[in-house]
Amino acid sequence: MLRLGILGSTRGTVLLSLITAIRQKRLAAEIAVVLSNKAEALILEKAKQHSLSAQFLDPQNLTAAEYDQQMSSVLQAHHVDLIVLIGYMRIISPSFIAAWCKRIINVHPSLLPAFGGGMDKSVHQAVLEAKLKETGCTVHYVTEEVDAGPILLQKKCIVLPGDNVERLKARVQQLEGEALIEVISSYKAPSPLTVKVEKKSLSQA
């Protein structure tokens, strides 16, 4: 069964969609660990409420590469097959991306490439200000260029008259959960996994 590692920095609303799909047996996967760079991130609380392994990894005084190596060690220890970014507010280091090539996916709250690089409510505000008639979400592989990896799936919804940021965000988040479930369901992990630097650090731990 596919083992998922979740990285998040915010509320983790979409995490609940994955948990529900797994429990209803609509998604043949298990959430091995949830990691956050924010000690107070609600995604950690949600994970603990559902009896999932949840850890805060402190990035203070670490370079991006050092932090990501620490994170990679935890992911390997939990035998993660696929890393899923849900509201993760850090730029991932090139070494981490290379080590986990085609094993990291992100869900972005727009129809990329529109509003690439934007985050959370700022994206929905930009959609409204641009007076667009539709928006949606994108699931894509994570590469060194932010929000520019190969697109795996997009889902669309109409921007309704009278929409505000919160209403639009809620509707897009529902699509994000559906899109992640579809992508994860059809995901085939490259084999074998080789993360040389992190394996070395594990042996030294």
Catalytic residue among 79, 108, 124, 140: 108
What is the rounded CA–CA span in Å between residue 199 and residue 202?
5
Sign of the Cα torsion 117, 122, 128, 134 reads: positive
Q: Residue 147 corresponds to which tokens in the numbers above?
A: 């929000």
Task: Output DSSP code: residue 174.
Answer: H
What is the rounded CA–CA span in Å between residue 4 and residue 84?
7
What is the rounded CA–CA span in Å between residue 97 and residue 101?
6
**Any catalytic annotation for residue 78?**
no
Task: Output DSSP code: residue 111.
Answer: S
Which residues, including other chains, have CB under 8 Å from residue 186's CB and lie 6 or more apart?
none
Residues with catalytic annotation?
108
